[in-house]
Chain A
Amino acid sequence: MHQFEINRLQKLEVFGWDASFTNSSVFMVLATLLIVGFLLYAMRARALVPTRLQSIAEITYEFIAKMVRDNVGPEGMKFFPFVFALFVFILVLNLLGMVPYSFTVTSHIIVTFALAAMVFTVVTLVGFARHGFGYLRLFLPDGVPIWLMPVIIPIELISYFIRPISHSVRLFANMMAGHTMLKVFAGFVVGIGGVGGVISLGGIAPLLFMVVFTGLEFLVAFLQALIFTVLTCIYLNDAINMHH
C-alpha cells in the first residue's frame, strides 16, 4: 500500500550497508525535533506556577515518573530517561502517523523490532551487571519442585527470548492493522458511493464508521505507546528486583 512504502530520498552507504535517508528517517528526525523543541519551549520559563504548555510537559514527566516508580521502584529512576524517551518517541511517531498523507514509522516491524531489541539488550545487561550469574535464577521460579525443573526451565527460557518478538510485533501489528483497516473502509466509501442512484447513499455508513474508528485509532496510538513503556518497566523490574 502506498502509505507504507519507503522511498529513498538520499542515497547513503556506510561500509557497504544501505543506510539511505528515507521518508521513514524524515519522520523520525521530525519526531525528535518536535519532542525536543516542544519540551525546551514549554519549559523555557520554569515558572513555579506553570503555564498551559509547561503543564503538559510536567504532566507527561510525572506520568512516566509515576509509572517507573510504581513498577520498578526507586532504583528504577536511573532508567527514567530511557523509559521517558521511549514513550515520547513512540507516542509522537504514532500520532504523526495519524496525520493524513504522512508516514507511520512504527508500522514497520524493523523499527519496532530495533526498539524492542534495544530494551531486551539493556534489560539483560542490567540483570547480569546487578546480579551476576544469579540472574539466571530468573528462569527458575521459587518453590518449584525439583522434578518440574526440566519442564519449567525451557518454558521460562522461551518466554524470556520471545519477549523482543512479542514486544515489537504488538506495536507493529496494531499500527499497521489500524491504518490498513481505515484504508479498506475508505475503499468501501468510494466503491459504494460510485454505484450511483440511491445506493450511493449507502456509502455514508462506512464513512461514519471511519470517523468513529479514526477516534479509536488515536486511542490505540496512545495505548500502544503506553503498553510498550509499561512492558519495558516490567522487564526492567525483573532485571533489577528479581521478584519472581
Chain B
Amino acid sequence: MELQAAKMIGAGLACSALIGAGVGIGNIFGNYLSGAMRNPSAAPGQFTNLLIGFALAEATGLFGLLIALIILFG
C-alpha cells in the first residue's frame, strides 16, 4: 500500500474517536434536559456543570481529531 493511502486511512480511523464524543455529548445534554424537565427551577444553577461535562466529553473526541490532523498535515 502506498504511504499516502495508508495515511488517509489512518486519519479516517482516528476520526472514529468522535463517535465517543458524539455519544457523550448527547448523553450529557439528554440527561440535563430530562433533569431540567423534572425540576426546572434547579436547571439554571447546573448550567456551568453542563458546560464542564460537555467540554470534557468533547475533549476526548477532539484528541482523536487532533491525531487525524497530525497524520494528514504533520
Contacts and interface: CB of A to CB of B under 8 A. Distances in A.
Interface of A: 70-71, 162, 165-166, 169-170, 173, 226-227, 230-231, 234
A183 to B, nearest CB: 17
Interface in B13-71: 48, 51-52, 54-55, 58-59, 62-63, 65-66
B54 A169 contact: no
Nearest to B51: A230
28 contacts: A70-B48, A162-B59, A165-B66, A166-B55, A166-B59, A166-B62, A166-B63, A169-B59, A169-B62, A169-B63, A169-B65, A170-B55, A170-B58, A170-B59, A173-B62, A173-B65, A226-B51, A227-B51, A227-B54, A227-B55, A230-B48, A230-B51, A230-B52, A230-B55, A231-B51, A231-B52, A234-B48, A234-B52
Nearest to A237: B48
Closest 8 CB pairs of A and B: A166-B59, A169-B62, A230-B51, A169-B66, A173-B62, A173-B65, A227-B51, A231-B55
Contacts, number: 33
Contacts of A170: 55, 58-59, 62
| Interface of A: prevailing SS | helix
Interface residues of B, number: 11
Contacts of A173: 62, 65-66
A70 B52 CA distance: 14
A71 B51 contact: no
Nearest to B50: A230
A119 to B, nearest CB: 13
Contacts of A227: 51, 54-55
Contacts of B63: 166, 169
A234 B52 CA distance: 9
A70 B47 CA distance: 11
B16 to A, nearest CB: 15
B62 to A, nearest CB: 5
A22 B51 CA distance: 34
A162 B63 CA distance: 10
Contacts of A230: 48, 51-52, 55
A2 B62 CA distance: 24
